[in-house]
Structure 1
Amino acid sequence: MFRKLDDTISVAGQIMPEDVAEAAAQGFTSIINNRPDDEQPGQPSSAEIETAAKAAGLSYRAIPISHAGFSEDQVQAMREALEETSGPVLAFCRSGTRSTLVWALARSRMGDDPAALQAKARGAGYDISPVQPYLGAA
């Protein structure tokens, strides 16, 4: 269910409030929600996931990204979330793709090598080629 990009972050498709306890049991310390509320009927709200995260002792941040694309503010918010966490992060969206793409952009701005980011994403089953031209951009 959770796909490990590296020791600091894993990504997932939509999680449910009951999945948060499993995330905590696996050692995650923070959840980042990259999915907008009401994107699909029946998905849990950001507030429901946040409540479950707090109950499990995890930090929580919502950085919703629609299918319209990324803004520099969203990339910066992801960077800040990654820098401020004290342990492994679980980021999720509908399929894990947007979470992986914004992670790659944020990590690139933190100085990570684009080829290494590509390899990590590929190893977890994700393709970051749509953002490849922006990796390493200031």
Structure 2
Amino acid sequence: MRSPRTSSSRSALPPVALVLLGLLALSPLTAQPPAPAGPAQAPATLLVNERHPAPGLATGGAPTTPEGFRALAAAGYKTFVDLRGDSEVTPEIQAAVEAAGLAYRRIPISGDKDLHLGTARELASVLAERGKEPVALVCGSGNRVGALLAVKAFWVDGVAPEQALAQGLQGGLTRLEPSVRTLLGLPAATASPQ
């Protein structure tokens, strides 16, 4: 004959086992999946409309705060070439650039009248002097930077007009493109069909 103790143990076991099996079956539904990795964080831009038309060359609009100049230096840039015109630059800018540890150079380009062989040669000289050191080449937006890069490529480096224009566009050339096309001997741009 069976003892009452054995019989009650056996009858209690199946409900406990069912509860445990139920919990195990539900655990994948309630378990939190690992959090997905966030998107790779893009490097912070250091310049307005920042571009990188060549290794070690950042082009765009100039930073407006001492922190911006320090960020350029922290990113490894060694020279800050400022193409902004006289009315756009204050003495404090050069001091802030140099305080950040960057060499400061100026080649004032106020507009297309300043795009000539002299300024193209001056840019070529600064870039050659810096060698492989990273350079930040700036104006207000990057437009004049791209324009000067294009005429330098054509007049100093001997690059074909179409390639020189492409270099300028990669460097930030926008509104000065018609003037640059004229300087390079290229026809006016045609409107793209819509």
What TM-score range do you get, normalising by the shorter chain?
A: 0.7 to 0.9
Match of 1:122 among 169, 173, 189: 169
Cα deviation 1:61-114 (Å, max 9, x = unaligned)? 111111252232222211111111131211111211111111222233124454
**One-letter amino acid of the structure 2 residue matched with residue 26 of structure 1:** A
Aligned positions, number: 131
- Structure 1 spans left out of the alignment, 5+ residues: none
Cα deviation 1:7-47 (Å, max 9, x = unaligned)? 132212232242111111222111111111324xxxx51x3
Higher gyration radius (CA): 2
Matched position secondary structure for 1:20: helix
Match of 2:59 among 3, 8, 11: 11
Aligned pair in 2 of structure 1 residues 110, 89: CA closer, same or farther (>3 Å)? same
| Greater mean deviation of Cα atoms: 15-24 or 93-102 | 15-24
Larger helix fraction of residues:
2
Matched position secondary structure for 1:81: helix
Residues in 1 aligned to 2:178 and 2:87: alpha-carbon distance in whole angstroms: 28
Residues in 2 aligned to 1:53 and 1:125: alpha-carbon distance in whole angstroms: 22
Aligned pair in 2 of structure 1 residues 81, 119: CA closer, same or farther (>3 Å)? same
Match of 2:84 among 22, 25, 35: 35
Residues in 2 aligned to 1:63 and 1:120: alpha-carbon distance in whole angstroms: 19
- Structure 2 spans left out of the alignment, 5+ residues: 1-47, 186-194
Could you state the TM-score of these two structures normalised by the residue count of structure 1?
0.76
Match of 1:79 among 106, 111, 124: 124
Quote the RMSD (CA, aligned, Å).
Answer: 2.5
Is the 1:6–1:120 contact (alpha carbons within 8 Å) kept by the matching residues of 2?
Answer: no
Q: Which residue of 2 aligns with 1:55?
A: 99
